[in-house]
Structure 1
Amino acid sequence: MTQPLSKFGSITFATILLAFSILLVLHKPLPPGLCEKSTVDRVVIHLFEPILRAFYYYPANYIFTTPANQIWWTRYSLGLLAKTMGPVTLFERHLVRVTDATWNGVHVRTYEPRLVENSTDGAVIFIHGGGFAIGSVAMYDSLTRRMAKSMNTFVVSIDYRLSPETVFPENLLDCEKAIDYFLENSLEKFKIDPKKVILVGDSAGGNLATAIAQRRAEKGAEPKLLAQVLLYPLLQLVDLQMTSYRYFHKRLTGIAFVDPASVAFYYMLYAGIPLEKAKELVPIVLTNGHVKPDYREKIDKLLTYRTTIESTHTYNTTKIPKRWEIVENSEAQNLLEKVIFDPNFSPIMRENLENLPKSLIVTCEYDVLRDEGLIYSERLMASGVPTKLINYKNGYHAMLNMHNEITEASTCLDDVMHWILEQF
């Protein structure tokens, strides 16, 4: 005769059953190819994505429905989740000296390897992502710490001010101020060769890094950056109907990855559009209705590689929806006209890309921003800039934030660090 479960056993069984039921309810099938390089990766992302959706995505979209509360919850929830990713051990604290400082009025965090003298004589300056409205040096601490430790290289992480409290171009200028301070003082204060500085940025940070590299090249600023690394960069707000955007609408809607609506919303906040108005205009921007017809010829010229992407990057023969009808809106066009063609805001809009530093561009197949990274790399190469492009066929946007949990992300980070060390 079987014995009944003990009280502890009953609670354990009920907890497991409840957890399984919740995951079953939250489960959404992920597209084939995403994180399929590793079975473990696929399992981890299947477990993590529902948690991200339940903890961040659903509350932000269905509970904290006002734009201001939405931003507050997104910052709070993702900040908490970041603390669970790649915790720092006591041993690691002895390997890297971490210092918070203020340079030209901008908060930065520096990472200096403790045990071995900087073998490269150079430095990495990192600009974090988060749609210009989310993120901090603390959220990226695990990533930047690993870069400093693994490359035995000095790393600077910039804590620029965020939108909507601070808007374009002030966020960009924060980064420039910090970079200028470092380049002016690198040799005397940090024993770093100012000619061996590499600028790295991910997502919106990739936008800021791209704009800064362009601005320095245009001015002929000295010392020149040794190289730039753009990790799944956000580069434009003129075409939100590219292939990667349309694929997201077909296959990834409702999954807690960076989505077209968030790109449009946060980019408009960076442009200085008020919260409620930005929320209202998102559906217009998603159709490209914010772009005056007069500019479409210019866009076609600068984004000409789009036609190649249409035929060569087809997501395992998944049928991509055709472009949908543009919903013209004169208010959106008038509000955004001044910024969306400004290369300091949309770096892909800069016509002359000559004399830029050697570049590494990382894109991910399952990323709404994939196509603009591909286009920019093609334009850099056409302009004579030594450029390496790596498109991770199983990757997704912001995967480096899971560099300790996902093999594909760890491999990507290793590839990036290897390329950086080659430049030094």
Structure 2
Amino acid sequence: MALPSQAHSATADLLTQAQRLAGDRHGSIFSCTSFLGKLLEKTGVCSEIAFTRYVVSGRKPGPDPQLWLSDARLGRVPVRIYRLRAPPAGPRAGVTFFHGGGWLYGSIASHENICSYIAGESNSVVVLIEYRLAPEHKYPDAYEDCLNATIHFMKNAEHYGVDPASITVCGDSAGGNLAAAVSQTLAGRSDLPSLRAQVLIYPGLQALDFNLPSYHQNRGVPLLFRERAAFFALQYLNGHALHMQEVLEGSHIPPDMRLKYRKWVSSDHIPEKFKIRGVKPPKSTDFIAEVYETVKRFCEPNLCPLLAEDAVVQQLPQSFILTCEYDVLRDDGLLYKKRLEDNGVPVTWYHLEDGFHGIISLYDYCGLSFPSGKRGLDSIVNFLKGL
């Protein structure tokens, strides 16, 4: 996304400074981006969201002679399609990919390197979905774009040289949330082929409890801070982040509802080995009904897939979940892994002990190289090739 024209010069200088300050490659760029975005917003140059979208929009990789890329629309949703140029021996597998970025950021450009890699290495037709972003477009717009584009792709798979029975939904971070929600919605539908699999890359799957162990252990670890996780969820839901502190404290969920969902969302279900870095029990807080009224849709599975009923979870396809140790969303993935396994769904789990949130996107980015990100990306490719 381009910045307003009057901001180009100032932004270029500030971005250069941000990159120069990035001595700690595990997040200084992001930290500087946030700081500079706030500064630009206060000075009236552009909004923090517009600046951050500009910074994270990604660099356009050089053309890959082995890949054919095309822009299209699935229904009314813009997409980019990636596939190998070499003629296939038969129909290929298909992947619909939903990019991350907290529902506010990300685009085709920001995830071109990931989708190109997956398409080339797994010999799949990858369709990268350009869904509408918050806060301009609130929930459920992003979910509906991803769902509608996936259904369109499934109904017209043969047109793209894809086997209709070999389609996987995939996404990272907020995109993992969208992939899980789409997979649940399509589960059990008789008018469509069943999804072959779902691939969830450090997904955010609930907004009831921001006090799970990983949220405190990694609260200040880039690229996703604890406060930002709540900020993104609120922006997606309401188009603003009012009551963020109450949501972080847990005052937004009624006691009876919290008790109901405790069987699925609780630190009790996190393996003890993930608590060895120390976990302090959260302070008890009073329920605030007025806050609940503004966020009660957090209890909808299309927004928080971890809350889906067992009858839905039981129908889900074979699943792959990638988690990172240094990630506030780690426990969302662990809890969903348990739910899937408890309901008889085959799960392949890959945990990056040295990984942090967003590392897949940084396996080879602007001169930075993260072997852990490359390992994670290869684990996804190997899973897809094994289907």
TM-score by length of 1: 0.80
Q: Which among 280, 284, 290 is matched to residue 252 of structure 2? A: 290
Deviation (angstroms), 1:246: 1.2
1:73 pairs with 2:51? yes
Q: Are the aligned partners of 2:224 and 2:328 in contact in 1 as well (CA < 8 Å)?
A: yes
1:75-109 Cα offsets, whole Å, 9 max, x none, are 11222xx21xxx6334x1x2111111112110000
Structure 2 residue ranges without an equivalent (≥5)? 1-16
Alignment partners' CA distance in 2, 1:147 and 1:292: 42
Match of 1:236 in 2: 206
**Paired residue for 1:417?**
381
Gaps of 5+ in 1: 1-18, 28-45
Name 1:117's counterpart in structure 2. Answer: 88
Q: Return closer, same or farther for 1:274/1:192 CA change in 2, 3 Å cut-off.
A: closer
Structure 1 66/210 Cα, relative in aligned 2: closer, same or farther at 3 Å? farther
Give the Cα–Cα distance (whole angstroms) in 1 for the partners of residues 43 and 272 of structure 2: 40
Alignment partners' CA distance in 1, 2:213 and 2:91: 40
Q: 2:235 aligns to what SS in structure 1?
A: helix
Given the alignment, which residue of 145, 148, 151 partners 2:116?
Answer: 145
Q: Give CA deviations for 1:237-285 in whole Å, capped at 9, x if unaligned.
A: 1011000011123xxx2x54111211111211221x242xx2x311111
Within a 5 Å distance, the mapping from 1:334-349 to structure 2 comes to 334-337=293-296, 339-349=297-307
Q: Cα gap change, 1:66/1:307 in structure 2, threshold over 3 Å: closer, same or farther?
A: farther
Deviation at 1:296, TM superposition (A): 1.5
1:219 offset after TM fit, Å?
3.5
Instruction: Please say which of residues 58-67 and 215-224 is displaced more in the overlay.
Output: 58-67
Asked if structure 2 preserves the Cα contact closer than 8 Å seen for 1:132 and 1:270, the reply is: yes
Contact 2:34–2:48 under 8 Å retained in 1: no
Asked if 2 retains the 8 angstrom alpha-carbon contact of 1:118 and 1:153, the reply is: no
Per-residue deviation, residues 271-328 of structure 1 (Å, max 9, x unmatched): 1x242xx2x3111111111111221111211225x214263202xx432333134254
- Residue 191 of structure 1 deviates from its aligned partner by 2.0
Instruction: Report the more deviating stretch, 257-266 or 281-290.
Output: 257-266
Q: Where do 1:178-327 residues align within 5 Å? A: 178-187=149-158, 189-249=159-219, 253=220, 255-271=221-237, 273-275=238-240, 278=241, 280-304=242-266, 306-309=267-270, 311-314=272-275, 317-326=276-285
Query: 1:98 & 1:144 partners in 2: Cα distance?
Result: 11
The structure showing larger relative contact order (alpha-carbon pairs under 8 Å, at least 6 residues apart) is 1
Q: Who is 1:331 aligned against?
A: 290
Q: Which residue of 1 aligns with 2:354?
A: 394
Give the distance between the partners of 2:37 and 2:272, measured in 1 at CA: 36
Query: 2:248, 2:125 → 1: CA distance?
Result: 40
In structure 2, how many angstroms separate the alpha carbons of the residues matched to 1:66 and 1:288?
A: 34
Alignment RMSD (CA, Å): 2.2
Q: Distance in 2 between matches of 1:118 and 1:303?
A: 45
State the SS of the aligned residue for 2:88: coil
Residue 363 in 1 paired to residue 327 in 2? no
Please give the alpha-carbon distance, in whole angstroms, between the structure 1 residues aligned to 2:80 and 2:149. Answer: 11
CA contact (8 A) 2:323 2:351 kept: yes
Separation in structure 1 between the aligned mates of residue 217 and residue 210 of structure 2, nearest angstrom: 11
Corresponding letter in the other structure for 1:346: C
**CA 1:265–1:129 in 2, change beyond 3 Å: closer, same or farther?**
same
- 2:102 aligned residue: 131
Q: CA deviation at 1:402?
A: 0.8
Q: Aligned pair 1:155/2:116, yes or no?
A: no
1:51 aligns with 2:29: yes
Q: Which structure would you say has the larger Rg?
A: 1
In 2: Cα distance, 1:345 partner to 1:107 partner: 22
8 Å contact 1:118–1:152 — kept in the other structure? no
* Counterpart contact for 2:136–2:239, Cα < 8 Å: no
Count of aligned positions: 362
* 2:379 match: secondary structure: helix
Question: Once the two structures are superposed, what CA deviation does each residue of 1:346-378 show, in whole Å capped at 9, x if it has no partner?
Answer: 100012210110001111000000001000001
Deviation at 1:63, TM superposition (A): 4.7
**Kept in 1: contact 2:134–2:239 (CA 8 A):** no
CA contact (8 A) 1:246 1:323 kept: no
Task: Give the counterpart letter for 2:305 in structure 1.
Answer: P
Paired residue secondary structure (2:185): helix
User: In the alignment, is the contact (CA less than 8 A) between 1:57 and 1:256 conserved in 2?
Assistant: no
Change (3 A) 1:118 1:330: farther
Cα distance in 2, alignment partners of residues 415 and 119 from structure 1: 24
The answer as to whether partners of 1:116 and 1:152 remain within 8 angstroms in 2 is no
* Aligned residues of 1:247 and 1:321 also touching (Cα < 8 A): no
Aligned mates of 1:116, 1:158 — CA distance in 2: 24
Work out the CA distance in 1 between the residues paired with 2:43 and 2:319.
40
Identity %: 30
